[in-house]
Chains A and B, each alone.
Chain A
Amino acid sequence: MNPNAKMNEIQSPRCSAVFRIAFLFGAFLFSTARAAEVDYLKHVKPILRERCFSCHGALKQKGGLRLDTAMSILEGGDTGPVVTPGDAAASLLLERVTATDIAERMPPEHEGEPLSPEQVGLLRAWIKAGATGPDQEQPEADPREHWAFRPVVRPAVPAVQRSEWIRNPIDAFVARQYEQRGLTPQPEATRLLLLRRLSLDLIGLPPTPAEVAAVQTAANEEWYEQTVTQLLEDPRHGERWARHWMDVWRYSDWWGLGDQLRNSQPHIWHWRDWIVESLNADTPYDEMLRLMLAADELHPNDLGKLRATGYLARNYFLFNRNQWMEETVEHVSKGFLGLTLNCAKCHDHKYDPFTHADFYRMRAFFEPYHARVDILPGEMNLARDGIPRVFDGLMDTPTYRFIRGQESNPDKSTPLAPGVPAVLAFKPLVIEPVELPADAWQPERRAWVLEAYRTAATQQLAVAQNKLVAAQEKLAAKTAQPGAAEEMASALAVARQELQVAELAKVVAQAELDSLEQRITAMRATWARAEAGDAKPGEALTDAEQQAARTAARSEAETAVAQARLVLANLELRLLKEPADKKDAVNKEITTAREALDKAMKKTAEPSEQFTKIFGAKWTATRFFNSSTDDPQVTFQSRSSGRRRALADWITDRRNPLTARVAVNQIWMRHMGAPLVPTVFDFGRKGTPPANPELLDWLAAELMDSGWSMKHLHRLIVQSATYRLSSSTAGAEQNLAVDQDNQFLWRRTPVRLESQSVRDSILALAGTLDPSRGGPPVPQASQETSTRRSLYFFHSNNERNLFLTMFDEALVKDCYRREQSIVPQQALALTNSKLVLDSSRPIADRLTGALPKEAATDEAAFVRLAFVNLLGAEPNAEELAASVQALETWKKLPEGQAADMGRGLPRANLVWVLLNHNDFVMVR
């Protein structure tokens, strides 16, 4: 490093000169390197790897040419040798990379810019020097043999020397690497830290003072097992882990511009609740994936399970189908399979054996699906509630490959069928359409739907009835009231008219209820024949059906008359109230309303069979064709394509090499602070392979063989000795020298609490956390005063809670791994927010309450208790002394002496300090 190039020198006027010199010096070095000796491995191969291997390597061998070893370069391709050692000018390789004719040039035009003159210079120099490479240079491995594309085979648990340390097979796999690398595990963490870890890890909240005290005095080691069992059975476990999976599965409440829904769905929280419930019930992971992808095909009438398809409904995008589909392909691939199939959107994948068409074949699984909202029992107003879910509506839409990924340029010559990349086709894909039960695609036939409508209409009638009684009472009161004759007359007239309005409103409500019944009868008449299997689409109605339809139509016409009368009565009421100069305008409206009434009355005499159908679900309209009008309705079909069911079947097959590996990697990361495969969404050749592949495979096998039980996996991981290691580096000089990054797990990696856990923990310690579960999200306006768990906060691309965003809140578009940033805004939020300032006092009071009576005023005892509960560690002598000293100082301040007043309370201040301590936000 050039010491002259320190950052702060940039500010001085002379610094640019310093830089220029440094720069020139660098250039000089570079040119000498070129003239002297070019190192193939250091200078040449990286250029070829970066720019040429994807077409001339293991993945593809265009023109029969491979450039991944010096030997294969010398062998050349279909047209003969491409390099003449010692003679750069005669070498085809150089000719092609320097070609000015764009058709000749390599890499080709659409593969990015040409090689730079420096890069060409290096190639030239290497050829001049003889174009040699190392002996026994290995070519790129066959992509099909890539570790993540090979089946999961349960590895044998290794026998290791450190057997007394081993608690379960996880440790054996870890210990073997200790032996191979000469590492020694750190000792086990203290009980206090273990308890804090388990609690935050499994339920997302710190242990209570009583739990801490119990563990401190536990007589034997059984407390650990008991705690694990208790926490895994705690319903808050589902809330904690739901938030993790909501990151990966891209949970988002709806967002748009203003009130316009553009992304995700209203009431999508039903999917969130399904995740929480499923995790608590230990629903198998594979079953969860199947339901999220295809519950509508697997359980077409089970609203509880249909909630799962919120996973796909969330990808809804008002304006652009291609974007919707592309996001779906990208995130199904990344989230479930650890594949960057999105990189094949414009061209063949550069690193993995996936073709351009593979991207669109994956899209074809999703091509037919759209989003809709189903009516729930008891609520017919979809603005208030409903289940967002998916259905196959576009059965015949073909899927085309977009040339260079451009939607304006589809290759219409070849429609693509659903399919998976060849390298992962371990069994033939069977796609069979699913015949849906009638009330799945005609949801108005669900018993609760009609009941929901009836309930709503009956409630309306009751409201009208109450208003009528109120109007009657008002008129009676006015009649009894003494007063000036003229005023009286006017007030009475108004009251009489108000009564008339109320009477008519009741008539309307009654007519609406009656009409609803008639319409139900008419719809039932057609269903009856359909159920008997006699109906054929497009067939004429029977006489009985016709009769019912006419009655329904007439009831609607009569309702319209009642409504028109009500409009007129309301206008007449307005006429009474308006001043003289405004009466003309009202009179005009009255004339129009009378005409409307006449028209409505005439309509009752015209026979009709057209009436408004009751619906049980509503398609979420799209605007793909024009941003200002809804697209033509996508109707519900009696069969579903079966494509997504087939995809789900393939993803969750025991033979799929990726699904279980990707899942255990996610779970492992969230327990241990770092994943086994660092590139959590890329298990392909460009990703980073696991440092302990046997452990990953053993865990994957264990997950599948346990019936995909996630609780089984949680239990295994937290019971391992590896999980229980101390995070300290004390005395580990040798380990640090070998493995500074703790890749081989000789200690526990400390983790910063996620945003939600920071807030939830503070509320839990204060005893103010609202324990209620599920339901609609807390809107942004109420969040500041809400004490519900953070996962219930409204969370979308546009609306995120300010406090939570300070601590790396999940981005809804893409969050496979939470950030763990450390920025000053976090310090500001923890020192200054209402949340922290309002909680310090209740936390202090709760801790004081937990002290034995005789120690209630003992400051040292308080300090110990606060450290133990907030940081999971006893204070050392220095910390104890400093804290007691601070308490004494606060007491002497005026507000400290004001005893219990407000924030001045010394113990609350100490809590405030500890909430800002590094160890509070870290799980050590």
Chain B
Amino acid sequence: MSLLQPRRSFLSGFASLALGAMLHRDGFGAEGGTHPDGRPHFAPKVKSVIWLFMNGGMSHMESFDPKPMLTKYAGKTIAETPFADTQNPKRLAIERLVVPDGNGNQRNVLYPLQVGFQKHGESGIEISDWFPHLARQVDRLAIVRSMWTTDSNHGAQTQFHSGRHQNDGDFPNLGAWVHYGLGSLNDDLPQYISLGNREYWNKKDGHYLGPAHDAVPLRVDPANPLDFGRPERPFSPQAQAVGIDLLKQLSAVRTAESPRDAALAARVASYELAFRMQQSIPEAVDFSKETPETQALYGIDVPHCRPFATQMLAARRLVERGVRFIQVQHGAGGAGSWDAHGGLKSNHETNTRAVDQPVAALLEDLSRRGLLEETLVVFATEFGRTPGSQGSDGRDHHIFGFSVWMAGGGIKGGMVHGATDEIGFHAVENRHYVTDIHATILKQLGLDSRKLEIPGRKRLEIDHGVPIDAILA
């Protein structure tokens, strides 16, 4: 009894880390070292993270970092403008060239802004006219205009998630670290969920932390939200119920025989969670109880927003139910739908129309429900786009300066942090590598990434990043 009792309570939160810790202790873990115990390292400010990722590279100049100089000097080469120093080879040296590319070359003829900008909100921050809904939320955003990364190909997508470029190997991404480091908020749902297609870059998250820390992929379809989420052959619920009941009885017999068998205990618990998930997940993505007003807020019935709107509403419902980390991929597949080498205007118009209303609604809805303070929302992309034109009407990949924003838990709203130069080329003020975003999020969750390190998997300084304290309230 004394042996059994603590284990049962221990197992109640097994979905994420307790399980890993337990398995490790019993020789089931793959790696050595002390596993975290599921508690934060210091007082957390937020409970959940919604990680929105625009695949392909969103233009920073046509979204959150307006550069009128582009229009003023349109058609001129950069060398002919007062900004010739942006081409200083020393300043370009941060780029790590994997292989010279049809893309990723210098684009030197400035391309005018393809969209207008207005000041919005009390903060008066300028947002492009392609984001009319988000513009009304501007006082909730902290826009970081001074991001940089190192690789100008789309392997930079993994770089934004894990801190390491695709070619460096496979490294756990931020969601996996959070999943590894923190315990569960809800025993009926997975703690790390991924929405949206994942195609070009690796579909796994945990890597050396193990597959237990991969996100569970979910579809926003109550009839079929989860791989193997319901019987793939007709199987009557009554007959299933009898079987599940028998399985429980048989498992109980074995548990009584082998009270110390951690794998058995974990397997029994995993079945219990699986059965609960079969109920809880369809419910979480079933919007029938959402009011028409809420659904309209997200744009569920607006055809061009619908896919992302359903994901945003699902994200809110998952946060509400205590899911720790929700990763939403927009436009994945091939290089990513934001990859506007040509036809930037129509490309970004289409993409922004798809995401603008839903993401604005997410912020509004979280706020109305009092969830925004404990939820950190991140809106990011792998890199920006070149100030110069590619072809007649596109922009190329650009690693030297780009924008992301955060909102919600503990983030100062209505602020701009960092800046690029006047043509949006280099991040010049308060420069931040992509892992600074990770460090900021971990700080808000109460985690110290150095305390999570796995022996034999030494991380570099740059992998840990530095929290962007200036945007924290």
Q: Footprint of B on A, CB under 8 Å?
A: 5-8, 10-11, 16, 19-20, 23, 112-113, 257-258, 319-320, 323, 408, 623-628, 674, 678-679, 682, 686, 688, 728-730, 736, 741-742, 749-750, 752, 797, 802, 805-806, 808, 811, 813-814, 817, 819-829, 831-834, 837-838, 876, 878-879, 882-883, 886, 889-890, 893-896, 902-904, 909-910, 912-913, 916-919, 921-922
B451 at the interface (CB under 8 A from A): no
**Are A679 and B271 in contact, with the CB atoms below 8 A?**
no
Interface 1/0s, chain B 256-288, versus A by CB < 8 A?
Answer: 011011011011101101110110000000000
20 extra interchain contacts, Cβ-Cβ under 8 A, other than A19-B43, A833-B232, A837-B235? A7-B39, A10-B44, A23-B43, A320-B98, A626-B100, A674-B27, A728-B258, A741-B27, A802-B227, A814-B169, A819-B211, A822-B19, A823-B270, A828-B278, A831-B231, A878-B253, A883-B250, A890-B239, A903-B234, A918-B254
Given A19-B42, A320-B98, A883-B246, answer yes or no on A903-B235 (Cβ-Cβ < 8 Å): yes
Cβ-defined partner of B202 (8 Å) among A408, A797, A824, A912: A797
Question: Which residues from 318 to 343 on chain B have a C-beta closer than 8 Å to any C-beta of chain A?
Answer: 322, 334
* Sample (8) of A-B pairs whose CB atoms are under 8 Å apart: A19-B446, A813-B169, A822-B270, A823-B212, A824-B274, A879-B253, A909-B243, A913-B246
**Are A320 and B99 in contact, with the CB atoms below 8 A?**
yes
**Are A833 and B270 in contact, with the CB atoms below 8 A?**
no
Which of A8, A817, A828, A883 has the largest number of chain B CB atoms within 10 A?
Answer: A828
A-B contact count (CB 8 A): 220
**Are B228 and A833 in contact, with the CB atoms below 8 A?**
yes
Question: Which residues from 1 to 48 on chain B have a C-beta closer than 8 Å to any C-beta of chain A?
Answer: 13, 15, 19, 23, 26-28, 30, 32, 38-40, 42-45, 47
**Are A879 and B243 in contact, with the CB atoms below 8 A?**
no
B303 at the interface (CB under 8 A from A): no
**Are A832 and B249 in contact, with the CB atoms below 8 A?**
no
List residues of chain A with CB within 8 A of the CB of B230.
832
- Complex: A824 Cα to B184 Cα, angstroms: 14
Given A736-B260, A922-B263, answer yes or no on A627-B32 (Cβ-Cβ < 8 Å): no
- Complex: A445 Cα to B187 Cα, angstroms: 68
Cβ-defined partner of B98 (8 Å) among A319, A674, A825: A319
B269 to chain A, nearest CB (A): 8
**Are B263 and A750 in contact, with the CB atoms below 8 A?**
yes
List residues of chain A with CB within 8 A of the CB of B274.
824-825, 827-828, 831
Q: What are the 5 A-B residue pairs with the smallest beta carbon separation, nearest first?
A: A827-B274, A19-B43, A824-B274, A7-B183, A828-B228
**Are A904 and B236 in contact, with the CB atoms below 8 A?**
yes
- Complex: A895 Cα to B231 Cα, angstroms: 16
List residues of chain A with CB within 8 A of the CB of B456.
679, 682, 686
Cβ-defined partner of A893 (8 Å) among B99, B190, B238, B275: B238
List residues of chain A with CB within 8 A of the CB of B27.
674, 741-742, 749
**Are B239 and A750 in contact, with the CB atoms below 8 A?**
no
B307 at the interface (CB under 8 A from A): no
List residues of chain A with CB within 8 A of the CB of B101.
626-628
Which of B40, B45, B242 has the largest number of chain A CB atoms within 10 A?
Answer: B242
- Complex: A829 Cα to B270 Cα, angstroms: 12
**Are A824 and B270 in contact, with the CB atoms below 8 A?**
yes
Residue of B nearest to A321 (CB): B99
A585 to chain B, nearest CB (A): 28
**Are B239 and A837 in contact, with the CB atoms below 8 A?**
no
Given A878-B253, A893-B239, A918-B268, answer yes or no on A750-B246 (Cβ-Cβ < 8 Å): no
A911 to chain B, nearest CB (A): 10
List residues of chain B with CB within 8 A of the CB of A808.
211
Cβ-defined partner of A824 (8 Å) among B250, B264, B277: B277
- Complex: A627 Cα to B207 Cα, angstroms: 28
B472 at the interface (CB under 8 A from A): no
Given A828-B277, A832-B230, answer yes or no on A819-B30 (Cβ-Cβ < 8 Å): yes
List residues of chain B with CB within 8 A of the CB of A679.
32, 456
Which of B99, B251, B264, B273 has the largest number of chain A CB atoms within 10 A?
Answer: B99
Cβ-defined partner of A828 (8 Å) among B170, B227, B254: B227
**Are A837 and B231 in contact, with the CB atoms below 8 A?**
yes
**Are A909 and B239 in contact, with the CB atoms below 8 A?**
yes
Q: Footprint of A on B, CB under 8 Å?
A: 13, 15, 19, 23, 26-28, 30, 32, 38-40, 42-45, 47, 96-102, 167, 169-170, 182-185, 190, 200, 202, 204, 207, 210-212, 216, 226-236, 238-240, 242-243, 245-247, 249-251, 253-254, 257-258, 260-261, 263-264, 266-268, 270-271, 273-275, 277-278, 322, 334, 446, 456, 461
**Are A827 and B271 in contact, with the CB atoms below 8 A?**
yes
A340 to chain B, nearest CB (A): 8
**Are A827 and B270 in contact, with the CB atoms below 8 A?**
yes
List residues of chain B with CB within 8 A of the CB of A909.
239, 242-243
**Are A902 and B234 in contact, with the CB atoms below 8 A?**
yes
A363 to chain B, nearest CB (A): 17
List residues of chain A with CB within 8 A of the CB of B240.
831
Residue of A nearest to B460 (CB): A112
B254 to chain A, nearest CB (A): 6
Given A319-B98, A825-B227, A825-B228, answer yes or no on A913-B446 (Cβ-Cβ < 8 Å): no
Which of B185, B228, B270 has the largest number of chain A CB atoms within 10 A?
Answer: B228
Cβ-defined partner of B242 (8 Å) among A7, A889, A894, A921: A889
- Complex: A258 Cα to B247 Cα, angstroms: 44
- Complex: A921 Cα to B263 Cα, angstroms: 11
Cβ-defined partner of B266 (8 Å) among A7, A16, A728, A822: A822
- Complex: A886 Cα to B13 Cα, angstroms: 31
List residues of chain A with CB within 8 A of the CB of B96.
408
List residues of chain A with CB within 8 A of the CB of B254.
917-919
A810 to chain B, nearest CB (A): 11
Residue of B nearest to A822 (CB): B266
Cβ-defined partner of B232 (8 Å) among A113, A819, A832: A832
- Complex: A820 Cα to B40 Cα, angstroms: 26
Which of B249, B254, B273, B274 has the largest number of chain A CB atoms within 10 A?
Answer: B274
**Are B190 and A824 in contact, with the CB atoms below 8 A?**
yes
- Complex: A893 Cα to B28 Cα, angstroms: 41
**Are A828 and B210 in contact, with the CB atoms below 8 A?**
no
Residue of A nearest to B260 (CB): A729
